Amino acid sequence: MAPRGFPYPDLKEFLAALEQAGELRRVTVPVDPTLEISEVVTRTVRAGGPALLFERPTRGEMPVAINLFGTERRMAMALGVERLDEIGDRIGALVKPELPVGWSGIREGLGKVLQLKSVPPKKVKTAPCQQVVYRGADVDLNRLPGLQVWPDDGGIFHNFGLTHTKHPETGKRNLGLYRLQQHSPNTLGMHWQIHKDSTAHHAVAERRGERLPVAVAIGCDPAISYAASAPLPGDIDEYLFAGFLRGERVEMVDCLTVPLQVPANAQIVLEGYLEPGERLPEGPFGDHTGFYTPVEPFPVLHIEAMTMQREPVYHSIVTSQPPQEDHGLGKATERIFLPLLRLLIPDIVDYDMPAAGVFHNCVIVSIRKRYPKHAQKVMNAIWGAHLLSLSKLIVVVDEDCDVHDYQEVAFRAFGNVDYARDLLLTEGPVDHLDHASYQQFWGGKAGVDATRKLPTEGYTRGWPERMTMSPEVRSLVDKRWKEYGIQ
């Protein structure tokens, strides 16, 4: 059953739902967006605490909402489900290559068609996000309580701005989540990593000698905010995906100064252009890797208009060494995209991306092993699968291993491996933020085959039987447990 109020029309409705569910705390004392909010949020996340609404930031003109997605429960609330796997199940049903025959097949097919009708975004003429308008010299980013998260950060950053661009030739829209460094009251540094679609849009515009229009929406409803972070293929519109998640079309409005559309119920919208060839130093920035990323040249957004709701709420996120709020976003991606990953690599039973691996350093995969070197085949398939290509370590286990039980995974990986035969080393692309690779953007990768070994793989000793207690004894002890007087 979807939570009350879902789909949430805007961020404020989601905050109200969180508060009603006991998942939001208001901080009513003044708190500094420079470092202090970051420390409060980090302690709250690591204690498994609630979402926070800082009502009186000492800089900026509006409250700060943060840690909205910091637990799986809140992430599930954000997407209107009890369990994140429910969305994956919906996707799995839609991508089935066949339908049952007869009336049940017709009914199921009709249900899918009706579900897809809710997907396309809907254009509206007026929107709450344009209730207040600042143009030209009146644009002032200091109205926003942007955060400095870590002491050596290069300044104020806006960490949950949903960035909109269009391909200059095809008109294909992209929605992405990138950090934005505030250079001045009306300019932002655009940290577009090399593997992102907006980077490709900007490259085409520069080749054509054109400015690239950009719109940044801050404080959108949670389904849109998640869709911006999702690793969708380039030909899938993020707003189609958001509509699928919401079960209801997303309302969009034309920007006032650039040929783009933004969510009508966003709290704040920044509109502007990138000039071809212009770069400014961006960073350093304390990122989710737990290390500062270095200063690099990135494009500059010149803001020509700032629009917002009356009494807006500013949405942000803190980045740091895990655990941190982005674990909820990453876990949602893991569960939602499992059916699509299985469609691409049918060998996979389940997978897990540990938070400690910041979602691209390690992937744990279980398979139903059927032939020699099956695990190595799956490793290579994962390294060819969209953004999973950035994975640095892949651990493959048998299907009877729970990939989410790290103790069990470690037991298999530490004990089931002959590193002279079961370790696959290769090279390939790595994340833009990876600091360990000797060359930026590419480096070494490893695959660990922790599955049972087969005679056809050259293992001739006979794989030993795993020790398990008999069901009869387990049942007996279950019944007598209280008699033993063991607390």
Catalytic residues: 287
* Whole-number Å distance between alpha carbons of 169 and 341: 30
If phi > 0 it is left, if psi is from -120 to 50 it is alpha, else beta; for residue 387 that is: alpha
Q: Say if residue 307 is exposed, middle or buried (CB neighbours under 10 Å; 0-12, 13-18, 19+).
A: buried
Measure Cα distances from 67 to 15, 154, 323 in Å. 11, 23, 12
* Whole-number Å distance between alpha carbons of 223 and 247: 10
Under 8 Å CB-to-CB from 69, ≥6 apart: which residues?
Answer: 75, 78, 222, 225, 226, 325, 326, 328, 329, 332
CA 272 from centre of chain: 25
* Whole-number Å distance between alpha carbons of 344 and 381: 9
* Whole-number Å distance between alpha carbons of 314 and 429: 35
* Whole-number Å distance between alpha carbons of 337 and 32: 38
CA angle in degrees (0–180, nearest 5) for 19-320-313: 35
366-390 per-residue burial string, b: 16 or more CB within 10 A, e: under 16: bbebeeeebbbebbebbbebbbbeb
* Tokens matching residue 97: 């290559």
319-345 per-residue burial string, b: 16 or more CB within 10 A, e: under 16: bbebebbbbbbbbbbbbbbbbbbbeeb
Under 8 Å CB-to-CB from 147, ≥6 apart: which residues?
Answer: 33, 34, 37, 38, 64, 156, 157, 158, 159, 316, 318
Under 8 Å CB-to-CB from 390, ≥6 apart: which residues?
Answer: 195, 360, 429, 430, 431
Max Cα-Cα span within the chain: 81
* Tokens matching residue 339: 């059916």
Which residue type is seen at 273? Y
